[in-house]
Each structure stands twice: as structure tokens, then as C-alpha cells.
Amino acid sequence: MNDMLKKGFFLGLGAASYGKEKVQTYIDDLVTRGRITPREAEQWKQELIERGKHMESDWSGRSKDKARDAFRDLGLASDTDIERIETKLHELENKLEQYKDNAPDNNED
């Protein structure tokens, strides 16, 4: 599962890098042809960066939700489940200690 996540991450990273290069080439070509000014090109790049950040944040949130659902489907414990189990374990340990302290000593003959 971990290997699959890594491959997915690197695939996304490669696609983003390739897309960025293509956009840069396209914008540079527009400037060279005189269709936009260098200032407009910079504005476009900044707008695309901001959109990319927003999309990355949105994608990150959705991917976390999907990963959480996949882990739940696999039957893996969530942080909340683990905390609940640890709390219950501590309660049982305390009860056991109380029982030991209150139990009559069976070693006396």
C-alpha cells in the first residue's frame, strides 16, 4: 500500500512539473510573438500559481478523505480508535491494580 501511495505521489509530481513547463513555454511563446507583454505574462504566472495552490489544498483534503476511507475499509484503526483503546486499557490496568491491592493474600497457610 505504501509503495502505491509513493508511486501516485511521484506521478502527480511529474505531471505537475510537466504541466508547469508547458505553461511556461506557452507564455514565453506569447511574449515572443508580441501577443502579451512580459508584465502580463508575469501576472498570468502569478494567477496560475495561486490557482495551483488552491487546487493543491483542495486535492490534498480530498485525498486525505479518500485515504481515510480506504484505511477504514481495510479495517485499520484510526487515531480516535487507538486513543479509545488506550484509555480503556489504562482503566483496566487501574482496576487490576485495585483488585490486587484489595485481594486477600492467598500465600498464608
pLDDT of residue 105: 73
Is the pLDDT at 1 greater than 70? The verdict is no
Half-sphere exposure of 57 (CA within 13 A, CB side): 5
3-class DSSP assignment, residue 76: coil
pLDDT of residue 106: 57
pLDDT in tens, 35-66: 989 999 899 888 887 887 777 777 777 888 88
For the chain, the domain total comes to 1
Q: What is the dihedral of CA 40, 44, 49, 50, to 10 degrees?
A: 100
Residue 107 resides in a domain: no
Cell numbers for 49, please give them.
Answer: 500559481
Residue 100 resides in a domain: no
Q: Residue 37 belongs to what domain range?
A: 2-76
pLDDT of residue 5: 66
Residue 99 resides in a domain: no
Confidence of residue 2 (pLDDT cuts 50, 70, 90): low
H-type alpha helices, the chain: 2-33, 38-73, 79-102
Residue 16 resides in a domain: yes
